[in-house]
Structure 1
Amino acid sequence: MTGFPRSLSKPINVFCDFDGPIVDVSDRYYSTYHQALTDTATYYRQLLTPRRTQTELQLPLTILTKPQFWQLKQNRTSDRDIASQSGLEHDQIDFFRQRVVEIVNRADLLHHDKIQPGVTWALGLLKSQGHKLILVTLRDRDEAIAMLEQHGLRQLFTGIYGTANRQAAYQNYAEIKTQLLAQAMREHQVTPLNLDRSWIVGDTEADVLAGRAMGISTIALTCGIRSNSQLIQLQPTLIKTDLLCAAHHLVSVGSLQTC
């Protein structure tokens, strides 16, 4: 990629999350919610008998708008509470939650994912400065690679670490994220002597906790699935709005530049 200034700084290892910093998953998660709610309503309507009225089952439902839904997700509202706010109750809620897990990574919903604004420029800027880009994601590794290749971004990454578990990203397992980060740091020769040249960029508690466990600085982004107020509670090293803003900071680490 061209058009970037020549590097004037020492290389940094940038361990970057996928969902949130690079990919906007909000449309897919909302489509999953909508489909799971529809499936739940359909299933329970089929069970209606004279003794179980539509009123008792709280159907029809209250379907949240996307802004309402995403605000709840960013504030760590559980699927159980989201289901309840949508009009489900009792065993309907468990049916809904199971349905979400079953379909969230289904092929006909994955196409809703899209690259976040400014990501191509952000990654190109970091690469042009000689910084090493290493993807560390709870997303299925093959899914992540396929999307990066689709958008011409695969070659920008020195390493890609992911899972073979299609549910890990949605469940946001911090322990697995820490294990992946530890592996990536080990294989890219990050030691106690150069920890200060490594950062992790993410959008959830899994990223911040993993970075803290491994002793490296963390940048939490508000463009993903956690709100600014939630991220403040996690006490990352920095909070930025998006990956481009984080990239500008990383090419001038230690400056007072804000974004």
Structure 2
Amino acid sequence: MRTIQGWTALVTGATSGIGEACALSLSQHGARVILVGRREERLQALAARLDAPSHCLILDVRSREEVERSLATLPPEFAEVDVLVNNAGLGLGLEPAHEGVLEDWEAMIDTNCKGLVYMTRALLPGMVKRNRGHVVNLGSVAATYPYPGGNVYGATKAFVHQFSQNVKADLAGTRVRVTDIQPGMVESEFSLVRFKGDAQRAGKVYEGMEALQPADIADVVTWCVTRPAHVNINVVEVMPADQGFGPFNVKRR
């Protein structure tokens, strides 16, 4: 196991769920953590719980200007980021494609794809220059396994996977690593956001089964980051035991 004591990790979407759990886990392993999110009160509350020094960035990753400006003004002790956890992302709606809400589609593309690209492009040059770093992208099993209503969300996560693989190809020969983590069902605010605050509908998603918890994914992220420097975990696909694969969708007339 490689120590990350004294490293600096930046986690987007740190205000809840997987992002919050990743910040806690990385802090427990000795990393300084930059907490990125849009809800200041939540970030400050999380910062108070961490075991290592932290810095809060109130930032919307969808804005290229905000990303570039905020990262350029990091305090010196947080300026050299060793681990980037691109966790900020969302799914919106489950309508079939011909009934999809374009504003929802744009929000998913802007956050899941463009926000991830902005953060990666801003921090990757420093990692390459120092010949040390790790980009961890939170994808989804939806990148591989389509489901009704998952149209644009699944497409954005397929982008995350392919972008991760191609960046890894560019970095071959350096000690900068890239990992795509692809969770299945995780009990978090994901469904509450997808259904725009409908708690009853969101709760039914996890009813009668034991979903993954954010801490389960944080464990995987920390395991990947703490592998020896010459080891790159390319892709991790993880589902709860209660989730599996469905048959082909055949509509009969």
Task: Report the TM-score range of the alignment, normalised by the length of the smaller protein.
Answer: 0.3 to 0.5
Normalised to the residue count of structure 2, the TM-score between the two structures is 0.44
**Structure of higher RCO (CA pairs closer than 8 Å, 6+ residues apart):** 1
Larger radius of gyration: 1
